[in-house]
Structure 1
Amino acid sequence: MMNWKNNKFQIAVLLLLLAILAALIALGIFSNDQSVDSVAYVNLQRIFEKHPARLAAENTLNQKAAEYQQQIESEYADAGGSEQKEIIQKHQEQLQELEAELLAGVIDELLAVIEETAAEKELKFVLEEEYILYGGYNLTESVLERIEAQW
């Protein structure tokens, strides 16, 4: 009778292991989320440098700087020493605010394109290239292609 109990236990363990194996296989086959461990990285500096919105923002900033320069020259001639400093400081602050606003717009657009590209490729994580030591998928070219297609 001892052998029968042992065999019954062995059969139960075998059936349990088969059930676990079947469940794991079913989860692998039927899972819609195949990207649980998918990690990609991008070279933000390269994407930023090639983004057409950055060039447009830079041109806008340069045009505004030229306008401010003309305003400073016309106001500067009629002003005294302390007023001259105030005029220059006022225009510098306005230029810095514009630069921050334009830069934020470019960064927002860049992040949106990265998110769209990652979602299309069913990636869960996208990191900056400089923080990757090993592995991962380089998403930089895909992001640049998407930007080029949109512009």
Structure 2
Amino acid sequence: MIKTATKQLKNVFLATLMLLGTISLTQPGIIHAAASSSIGIVNYQLLVQQHPDMAQAEATYQAAVKQAQDDFNAKSANMNDQDKKALYQQLQQGLQQKRMELLGAINDKVDAAIKEVADAKGLTIVIDKSQVVYGGQDITDDVMKKITGK
């Protein structure tokens, strides 16, 4: 009984090897494509933080925070706690929207620069450096040069 099971296991193993060999011979492009694909990596957070527009975006956001604080102080003086809470939440939502708007414009510019560099280098995939354990071509410096013009 053990000999029969061992013989069946050998047959399955041999059949699998033959199938894989046949696939690799008839579909060489699949294996070649996987081996030749190029992956780029970037430190996305660094690119956003050091983008030339970031200082202006941060200043604009801080001005919006100050305005929201002033609005809250002025409007909430005679409000009950529930109305104060509602006003606070409304102002917080406005600030979140403003932040997304400001960062969205910068993210779009960073994404465009990454795409340009990746296309120029023939890279098919670019992922964030924090997600990479090993390998990939780091293009962060090239993208930074594209963004800053230096």
Cα distance in structure 1, aligned partners of 2:124 and 2:66: 44
C-alpha change, 1:125 and 1:81, in structure 2 (3 Å) is: closer
Deviation at 1:79, TM superposition (A): 2.1
1:2-151 equivalences under 5 Å are: 37-149=37-149
RMSD: 1.8
Partner of residue 3, structure 1? none
Aligned residues: 115
Local SS of the residue matching 1:115: helix
C-alpha change, 1:79 and 1:129, in structure 2 (3 Å) is: same
Question: Could you say which structure has the larger radius of gyration?
Answer: 1
Unaligned stretches of 5+ in structure 2? Answer: 1-35
Please give the TM-score of this superposition, normalised by the length of structure 1: 0.68
Partner of residue 32, structure 1? none
Deviation at 1:103, TM superposition (A): 2.1
Cα distance in structure 2, aligned partners of 1:101 and 1:108: 11
Unaligned stretches of 5+ in structure 1? Answer: 1-35
Local SS of the residue matching 1:41: strand
Cα distance in structure 1, aligned partners of 2:87 and 2:135: 53
Deviation at 1:138, TM superposition (A): 1.1
Cα distance in structure 1, aligned partners of 2:135 and 2:79: 61
Residue identity in the other structure for 1:99: R
Deviating 4+ runs (over 6 angstroms): none
Deviation at 1:58, TM superposition (A): 1.7
Please give the TM-score of this superposition, normalised by the length of structure 2: 0.68
